[in-house]
Amino acid sequence: MGGASADLQSDIELTDAERYDTNSNNLRSSESKAVTDVELDSGRKSQADAEGRYVEVTMDIHGDSVALHSVKDFGGVDGVEEEDGEKLGLSGKRLEKKKSFGASVVQSAAIRMKQLKRLASFSKPAPKHFDRTKSAVAHALTGLKFISMADGGAGWVEVEKRFEKLTANSDGYLPRSLFAQCLGLNKESEAYAEKLFDTLARQRGIQGGSINKIQLREFWDNISDQSFDTRLKTFFDMVDKDADGRITEEEIKEIICLSATANKLSNIQKQAEEYAALIMEELDPDDSGYIMIDNLETLLLHGPEETTRGESKNLSQMLSQKLKPTYVDSAILRWYRDAKYFVLDNWRRSWVLALWIGVMLGLFAYKFVQYRRKAAYEVMGHCVCMAKGAAETLKLNMALILLPVCRNTITWLRNKTKLGAAVPFDDNINFHKVIAVAIAIGVGVHAIYHLTCDFPRLLHASDEKYKLMEPFFGDRPSDYWYFVKSWEGVTGIIMIVLMAIAFTLANPAFRRGRTKLPKPFNKLTGFNAFWYSHHLFVFVYALLVVHGIKLYLTHKWYKKTTWMYLAVPITIYALERLIRALRSSIKSVKILKVTLYPGNVLALQMSKPQGFTYKSGQYMFVNCAAVSPFEWHPFSITSAPDDDYLSVHIKILGDWTRSLKTKFSQACQQPLNGQSGLLRAECLKGDSSSINFPKVLVDGPYGAPAQDYREYEVVLLVGLGIGATPMISILKDMVKRLKGIEEEEVEEGAVVKNGDDEFKTRRAYFYWVTREQGSFDWFKGVMNEVAEEDRRKVIELHSYCTSVYEEGDARSALIAMLQSINHAKNGLDIVSGTRVMSHFAKPNWRTVYKRIALNHPHARVGVFYCGPSALTHELRQLALDFSHNTSTKYDFHKENF
C-alpha cells in the first residue's frame, strides 16, 4: 500500500486520460496522469492562501489500479466525516450540513479521485482489440439495446409525449419512479429502468432523483446510441454499482436477480448466487475478486463462438435469400395463377363442399318445383315453395351434422381405408361448424316464410281459395294463434329456442369463458355450459321427428321423409356412444402417477388397458365421475406407443380442468405412510397405498393430423404451450425407432416397417414456444432423452421462452452470457433446465421455413402445428408461399384448442 499526500494548490487535473471513443469501433485507453501538486484556480487559491488550509489525499495503489483511501485536512481534521458522523461517499454526493472551505475542497477532491479511479481501472497495460467483422460475433455488435420497439420506444417523439403527460403536475421534472413508464417499458422492467436511470445520472453527476426534459434527451441519446462501445460502457456501469471501475461477484449477483425479474425467470433468481460464482470463475481465473470491462467485452464478442445456438451453419447464406414472389402483369393470368394455387391447396375441401352445396341446391330446387305445381301455391304463392325448399335442406343437414362427430367411424376410415387421400378427415369439426351455419340459415328461411308469409296468407285468403286448403287445415282458422299453438308450431318454436341456446354458448367467447357475465349468469359461460347445452340436441331431434310427422300439407307416411334422413346418422351416432360407454367401462385404468407442474399443468400417468393400441399424435377422451359423470374431454396422448403406460398432460384452463386439479390435489395431500403428499411431488400408488385417487375412464384412441407425420421424410413440428403434447409423443416414438434402426444396422435409405405402417421420417425439426420458464418441467426428461439418444442428429430441437427479451436486449444480455457459459461447462441450459439451448422471444417463422427449404430442396415437408388458432394462419400462409415459390413443398396440418 502506498500513501500519497500533497499540498493541493489547484484542482486535480487529469491529462491524457483514458477516453471512450464512441465514434470508432475500438476501446482505446492511454496512460492516465494525475497531477496532484498543481495550482488551484485563482479564486480558490486566494482563499486557500488566506486561510492556510491544506488537504491530504491518501490512495491505495494495487498494480495498475488506484483506489481512494482517505481525504483529510492537513491538520488532522477528518475532511471526509462531517460533524454528525456522516461520510462523503465515493459517488460524490453532496453533503449539505457543512459548507466550509474544507468540505467543498474534500468534495471536489473526492469527485476527481473517483474519476481517477475509474480511469485507472480502465487502463490496462495491453488492451485487447477484437476483430468485429466475423459473422460469428456480428449479432453481439447489435446487442445491448436498452429499449426495443416492442416496448413502445419508437423514438424520441413518443418519449417526449409521454414526458409531457407524466410531468404535467410536477413542474417539468420526471421522477426516477416514472422513468420506465416514460420510456414505454412494462412493469416487469421498472427495476431495470431505475438501475439504468441511476447509471446515466451518475455518469452526468445528476442528483436529486428527477430530471428535466433536456436531461431526459441526453439520457435518450445515450440509450439509443448505436455505438457498441457506448452501450458496453453503459451496461458495465449499470453492473458496477459503486463506480470503482470493477465488477465484483456481489454486483453480478444483483444484476442477475434484476435480469431474472425483468424476464420472469424465477428459477434463475433463486440460483443467482451460484450463477454469479460461475461467471467469476469464468472471467476471473486469477481469483482477483473482480472483473474488468475488457473481460465483459471478451464474453460478449467471443462467447457465441462456443455455440451456434442451434442455428444451421448455412444460416448466413439462408438469411441472404429473400422470398421473391413472381409478378404477372396480366390480370387474367394473375387470376388464373391464384385460382390454380387455390385448387391445388384446397382441392379436397373444395370437392366435398361443392358436392354438399350441389346436393342442397338440388333438394331445394326439387321441393320448390314440386310445391310450385301444388294447390298450396295458389293460396300461399312462392312463400310455401321457399319454406319447403329450406325444410328439405334442413333435413339433409340435420342428418349430416352428426357424422363429423362420429370419431370412431372417422378414425377407422382414415386408418383402414384410402379415403383419407381424397377426404379431409382432419377438417371434421370445421365441417360440423359449416353445417351448423347452414342449419341456422335454413331455420331462418323456413320459419320466416311460414310465420310471416304463409300463415297470414291463409288467414286472409278468399273463401274460394281456402277451399283448396280445407283437406289440410280443416275449417278456416279464426286467428293467427291457431297455427302457433299447433304441434307443428310448438315443436318448431321450441327447436328454435334450443338451437339458439346451443349455438350461442358454442361461440368461443362463451365456450372459453372470455365473456364475463354478472352472477348468477356467470354459469352460462365456460366449457361446462357449452357441453350441457350442446347435448340439448337429443331433445331437438325428438322434436324434429314429431315436427316431421305432424305436417300440414302431407298426410301419406312415405312422403314424410324426415325420419328417413335421420335414421342412418342417428343409428351410427347412437352406436358410437354405446361403444364409447362399453369400451371405457371395460377397459378400466389405474392411476399410477400424478404430478402438478409449474405453469398449472396436471400430468396423469395411468395403466395401459389391454388391447389399447395407438399411434403417436393421436388423442383420447378422459372422464372423471368425481368432477362430472357425463363429460368427456379430449387430450393428446403424450406417452409413446411402445410405453407400458398411458399419459396425458392437462393444462388448467377451464372449469372442468380446475375441478379435476382440485380433486387430485386433495388426493395427493392425504397422508401417505405418516407423511404428507406434496402437491408438486409425484404421488405414486403402490399396492398397499391408501391414496384414493378419483376414478378415471378413458376412451380412444382417435385419429389426429399429427399421426400422419411418418408419411413424410422431413417434418416440422410446432407446439405452442401445452400444444407440444402430441409432438412429445412423436419425438419419443422417433427416438425409439431410430434406436431400433441403429441396433438392426439397417442400410441407409431403407424403409423400416412396424407392422403395416411404413416409417419414412428421416429428419425432424421441433419448435416449442412457451411463455413460462416453469413450462419446461413438463417434458424435461423427454427433451434430455432426445438430445442424448439422437446420435445421428436426426431431430433438431428448438425451445423458445417468450417471457425473455429478444437476444440483443440489455435486459437479457447477462442471461445470454450466463447461458453460454453454463451450457459450455455443464451441458445444461439455465432457462429450460435441459440439454437443449433455449432461444429468447418468439421465433421468426419465415426464417424457420427458409432454413428447411435451404436444407431440403425438392422435398415434401409435413408441417404439424398444435396450439391456439392465433398462429394457424401465419404458418399455413408461409407453407403456401414457400410451396409456390420454392422447390420445397409444405403440407400444413393443424390442431387447435
What number of other Cβ atoms are within 10 A of residue 67's Cβ?
18
| pLDDT at res. 300 | 65
Which pLDDT tens digit goes with each residue over 546-598? Answer: 988 887 777 777 778 888 999 999 999 999 888 887 877 666 788 888 888 87
Higher pLDDT, 299 or 239: 239
Instruction: For 580, list phi and psi in degrees, rounded to 5.
Output: -60, -45
pLDDT grade for 144, boundaries at 50, 70 and 90: low
User: Could you write out the DSSP letters of every residue in 66-115?
Assistant: EEEEEEEETTS--SSB-TTS-B--TT-PPP-S--SHHHHHHHHHHHHHHH
Give CA–CA dist 552/565, Å, rounded.
19
Q: Which of 564, 718, 737, 711 shows the shortest CA–CA distance to 641? A: 737
- Mean of pLDDT values over 119-146: 47
Distances (CA, A) of 191 to 181, 195, 238, 656, 685: 11, 6, 12, 38, 46
Residue with cell 316464410: 449
pLDDT grade for 72, boundaries at 50, 70 and 90: low
pLDDT grade for 32, boundaries at 50, 70 and 90: very low
Give CA–CA dist 437/433, Å, rounded.
6
Alpha helix stretches (DSSP H) within 745-844: 780-789, 810-826
| Structural domains of the chain ordered from first start | 136-302 (1.10.238.10), 346-486+552-581 (no CATH), 587-702 (2.40.30.10), 704-748+757-802+842-896 (3.40.50.80)
pLDDT grade for 745, boundaries at 50, 70 and 90: low
Residue with cell 471478451: 298
pLDDT grade for 759, boundaries at 50, 70 and 90: low
| pLDDT at res. 826 | 77
Which pLDDT tens digit goes with each residue over 848-865? Answer: 999 898 888 888 999 999
| pLDDT at res. 33 | 35
Give CA–CA dist 540/504, Å, rounded.
15
Decide if pLDDT at 184 tops 80.
yes
Give CA–CA dist 470/473, Å, rounded.
5
| pLDDT at res. 691 | 65
Which pLDDT tens digit goes with each residue over 599-629? Answer: 788 889 888 888 888 888 888 888 888 888 8
Higher pLDDT, 652 or 672: 652
**Residues 841, 844, 850, CA angle at the centre, nearest 5°?**
155
Distances (CA, A) of 14 to 38, 62, 227: 11, 19, 25
| pLDDT at res. 842 | 85
Q: Highest-confidence range of 449-453, 527-531, 782-786, by mean pLDDT?
A: 449-453
- Mean of pLDDT values over 698-705: 85
| pLDDT at res. 352 | 92
Decide if pLDDT at 371 tops 80.
yes
Give CA–CA dist 622/279, Å, rounded.
48
Computed over every residue of the chain, the mean pLDDT equals 74
Decide if pLDDT at 131 tops 80.
no
| pLDDT at res. 64 | 43
Question: What single DSSP character describes residue 146?
Answer: S
Instruction: For 787, list phi and psi in degrees, rounded to 5.
Output: -65, -35
| pLDDT at res. 289 | 81
Q: Highest-confidence range of 196-200, 236-240, 306-310, 473-477, by mean pLDDT?
A: 196-200
Residue 684 in 3-state DSSP? strand
Query: Any bridge partners for residue 891, and if so which?
Result: 862
Give CA–CA dist 339/357, Å, rounded.
19
pLDDT grade for 465, boundaries at 50, 70 and 90: confident
- Mean of pLDDT values over 44-62: 48
Give CA–CA dist 472/559, Å, rounded.
15
Residue with cell 388426493: 667
Share of the chain above pLDDT 70, in %: 74
| pLDDT at res. 743 | 61
| pLDDT at res. 364 | 94
Q: Which of 434, 412, 438 shows the shortest CA–CA distance to 425? A: 412
| pLDDT at res. 780 | 79
Residue 671 in 3-state DSSP? strand
| pLDDT at res. 685 | 46
Decide if pLDDT at 452 tops 50.
yes
Decide if pLDDT at 393 tops 90.
yes
Which pLDDT tens digit goes with each residue over 254-307? Answer: 878 877 777 778 778 788 888 888 878 877 777 788 778 777 776 666 544 333
Q: Which three cell numbers stand for residue 46?
A: 486566494
Beta carbons of 668 and 678 less than 8 angstroms apart: yes
Higher pLDDT, 445 or 743: 445
| pLDDT at res. 329 | 65
pLDDT grade for 398, boundaries at 50, 70 and 90: very high
Which pLDDT tens digit goes with each residue over 805-855? Answer: 776 677 777 777 777 777 777 777 778 777 888 888 888 899 899 989 888
Give CA–CA dist 634/699, Å, rounded.
9
Beta carbons of 600 and 687 less than 8 angstroms apart: no
Beta carbons of 401 and 565 less than 8 angstroms apart: no
